[in-house]
Amino acid sequence: MKNVLILAAAAVAMTVSAVSAEVDGTKLGVLECEVEGGIGFLVGSSKKLQCTFTGQDDSTESYSGAINKIGLDFGITGKSYIKWVVFTPAGSEIGKFALSGSYGGVSTGLSLGIGLGANALVGGQEKNIGLQPFSVEGQTGLNVALAITTINLEPAQ
């Protein structure tokens, strides 16, 4: 278990460093999500999330969906919060609720009471939206994760 924790901590550090690199494109705004707590099983997890996108013009859109992880995701976590800077390639035009759709990427995380994680994802309706961690994910619990992550977003009802 100690070796797994060391590997997960190293993976979090590497992912945070990698996703901190500058993204080439147009910044659309910030997406903030609240993820329900739950149990991660050795091969993955699925949790509901509620998100608010705040555009550069201060407009807001609400989304709901799920975050799914396949890979090492073992333990119990409380509610967590994730914040991403939203980008699109320079020159791309997007409309209302353009963040709807599926996203994919890699996630890392480690919680021993209070924890850290990082999720860099790409997707959306036209597969032209990038979600770069604004700050690392904040969560509580006892959890180790290194997984392929998908998120599905749809306009909230």
Nearest 5°: phi and psi at 72?
-75, 110
Instruction: Give the type of residue at 57.
Output: D
DSSP bridge pairs for 108 = 118, 146
Tell me, what's the pLDDT at 74? 63
Report domain extents, the chain: 2-155
| Assessment of whether the complete model's pTM goes beyond 0.85 | no
Tell me, what's the pLDDT at 143? 53
Query: Within the chain, what is the greatest distance between any pair of CA atoms?
Result: 47
Which residue bears the tokens 């990082």?
118
Instruction: Please give the residue that has the higher pLDDT: either 73 or 83.
Output: 83
pLDDT per residue as tens digits for the range 113-133? 444 455 678 888 777 888 887
pLDDT per residue as tens digits for the range 19-39? 333 446 789 999 999 988 777
Percent of the chain having pLDDT more than 90? Answer: 27
User: Which residue in 37, 116, 109 sits closest to 78, CA to CA?
Assistant: 37
Q: Which H/E stretch holds residue 8?
A: helix 2-19
User: Which residue in 133, 155, 141, 129 sits closest to 51, CA to CA?
Assistant: 155
Instruction: Give the type of residue at 21.
Output: A
From residue 60, how far is each of 33, 43, 52, 149, 151 by CA, in Å?
A: 13, 35, 7, 25, 19
